[in-house]
A and B are shown apart, each in its own frame.
Chain A
């Protein structure tokens, strides 16, 4: 029983770290319409920055600097925001399809850099001994798992509240207007480039934070963790959950991570040991099939974007009969 619960904690913690990445993507895509296909690269930057900042001194990579975990996480978010901002400054004026190619290229370059700058990143051997939150509890797996889950859940909750506030703020409104009609928004003084760049960097910062959280939860990172598969998973999570909706982003990450974990378990149970490495690609197929199924069943995801937000501030001026047009969706 304790075992199952412990696994549940582990599973949910992992899923929620993906939930953080997914919240970042929702700022970029769901709210702003920026087609980022380089998620894995931004997550990697966060993971490495935090790891190098917090690990004990080591000969196999730069640092480590032995700083507190919190410093690592903040550093990860800031560094990733900076990297995202720079990439965005070069590419955000591009058409959506070029932005996709540019971010994909950036992610591949980041992964190659991480793999090859061995003196800084540890190269293919990665970075180990990343301090884990609540390490003092490590002897008691149940408590340790619960504490970690609570921490990540708290991070998700805080981010969720902050992003909801932003979505309903004048900032969020300007982003939405730009997404709906850029020409009209510009004529009303909303600089499309400036707002897009802000959203891109903010989303990047959140992805970097997620990378850091994941790295510290697992305790070890290597370049292989940051393949395009990660980007694909996060996109699947957002689409399944409902693009444009922060709760959808979180729900989608739990559901898709669940499918991922289940299919892994199934493969290891059914496929003979010598074929398992190959069969692992079936996991991606499973996600793809699940994606199609959900899109057919609910095209806007499990919880889609609220079309016209019932903003708390926007109650009707005076009581009136609501003239709901019958053709409305």
Chain B
């Protein structure tokens, strides 16, 4: 333990994760000018746990994801992967440490094919070095074949196989969300940060998607999920963390937080 007793107020959460968290945020704050989008938030994910991050619109959930995934540097506070302090590391380093994320608003590589989009997710490819393509072409080709096979399996997994050669720009909103998921899975992360994976996915597919997420968690992946659909949260997660106005509002089983008057008030207060 580092001697940071001053963080005690924020850390006074729930029983939460065990002694060996896969990922933790300790008292992180993100200020945009005067506005604190995330304010002294703490969060901890046990290995293999599946946790929901919920809260009204604008609560700071996506900002929290950006902090955890490294696309934003916190104004204060620390982010740890395992026991390593990664606060100063960018997103590239964090995915190498096994933390992958999807975007709430999908960011496909529009002019690349759907299959190529997924292939970009492949990590530590020999062929990413210029020289290797000339000095070890067989190895590069073998890895590429393996990567293509895996990418195809993932496209199958998210039901996009029939579109693999189309440029990603032709995908619909829901298909883009599915592509986001396939792409990050290509990197084989231990910890998955899923920002509203089901938003815009049609109800017929939703059950399938839930099955898939359960399967991933069953395979040992730690998952943090932002989701507005409380029904889905209840089906997937044993624990939910509620944010409101950048702060930790409540934490507990989905049923318990859904019944929490403070949570209900926060949702109603922010309703249009």
Residue of A nearest to B167 (CB): A308
Contact of B112 among A162, A180, A188 (CB under 8 A): A180
How far is B96's CA from A162's CA once the two chains are assembled, in angstroms? 29
B170 lies within 8 A of A188 (CB)? no
> Given A171-B127, A187-B69, A313-B148, A328 and B170 touching (CB < 8 A)?
yes
Which residues on B sit within 8 Å (CB–CB) of A162?
134
B96, B108, B119, B133: the one within 8 Å of A189 (CB): B96
A316 within 8 Å of B by Cβ? yes
Alpha-carbon distance between A322 and B165 when the two chains are bound, in angstroms: 9
Closest B residue, CB atoms, query A175: B128
Cβ-based interface call for A58 (8 A): no
User: Nearest A residue to B119 by beta-carbon distance?
Assistant: A173
Q: How far is the CA of A170 from the CA of B151 in the complex (A)?
A: 14
Pair B133/A184 contact, Cβ less than 8 Å: no
- Given A170-B128, A173-B116 in contact, is the A188-B121 Cβ separation under 8 Å? yes
How many residues in A have their beta carbons less than 8 Å from beta carbons of B? 36
**Whole-angstrom distance between the Cβ of A325 and the nearest chain B Cβ:** 5
Instruction: Confirm or deny: B130 has a beta carbon within 8 angstroms of a beta carbon on chain A.
Output: yes
Q: How far is the CA of A314 from the CA of B118 in the complex (A)?
A: 13
User: Which residues on the B side are within 8 Å of A174 (C-beta)?
Assistant: 120, 128
Is the pair B111, A189 in contact by a Cβ cutoff of 8 Å? Answer: no
Q: Which of A165, A171, A180, A189 contacts B92 (CB 8 A)?
A: A189
A188 lies within 8 A of B120 (CB)? yes
Report the bound CA distance from A283 to B166 in whole Å. Answer: 43
A198 and B112 within 8 A (CB): no
Interface positions of B from 110 to 157, Cβ below 8 Å from A:
110-113, 115-116, 119-123, 125-130, 133-134, 140-141, 143-145, 147-148, 152
Interface range on chain B (Cβ under 8 Å from partner)? 35 or more
Report the separation of the CA atoms of residues A202 and B133 in the bound assembly, to the nearest whole angstrom.
Answer: 14
Q: Does A229 contact B (CB under 8 A)?
A: no
Complex CA distance for A320 and B144, rounded to whole angstroms:
23
Give A198's nearest chain B residue, CB to CB.
B130
Q: How far is the CB of B248 from chain A (nearest CB, A)?
A: 25
CA separation between A257 and B215, bound complex, in Å?
61
Within 8 A of A (CB), among B25-67: none
Task: State whether B183 touches A188 (Cβ < 8 A).
Answer: yes
Q: Is A147 interfacial (CB 8 A cutoff)?
A: no
Q: Does B200 lie at the interface of the complex (its beta carbon under 8 Å from any beta carbon of A)? A: no
B73 contacts partner chain A, Cβ-Cβ < 8 Å: no
Check B235 for interface membership: any CB of A closer than 8 A.
Answer: no
B residues in contact with A186, CB < 8 Å: 71, 90-92
Verify if B184 is at the interface (C-beta below 8 Å from A).
yes
Is A3 among interface residues, defined by CB-CB distance under 8 A?
no
Tell me which residues from 142 to 190 in chain A have a Cβ below 8 Å from any Cβ of chain B: 162, 165-166, 169-171, 173-174, 176-177, 180-181, 183-190
* Residue-wise interface mask of A (290-329) relative to B, using a CB-CB cutoff of 8 A (1 in contact, 0 not): 0000000000000000011101011011001011010010
A268 at the interface (CB under 8 A from B): no
Whether B164 and A181, one on each chain, are in contact in the complex, defined by CB atoms closer than 8 angstroms, is no
Contact B133 A165 (CB under 8 A): yes
CB of B31, distance to nearest CB on chain A (Å):
21
Complex: chain A residue closest to B155, CB-CB: A317
Asked whether, in the complex, the Cβ of A314 is within 8 Å of the Cβ of B127, the reply is no
Bound together, the chains give a CA A170 to CA B184 distance in angstroms of 16
Interface string of A269-298 (1 = CB under 8 A from B): 000000000000000000000000000000
8 inter-chain pairs at a CB distance below 8 angstroms, sorted by A residue, are A170-B143, A171-B128, A181-B107, A187-B103, A189-B92, A307-B167, A316-B164, A323-B163
**Nearest 9 A/B pairs, CB to CB:** A170-B127, A184-B107, A180-B109, A170-B125, A189-B95, A177-B120, A191-B92, A308-B167, A186-B91
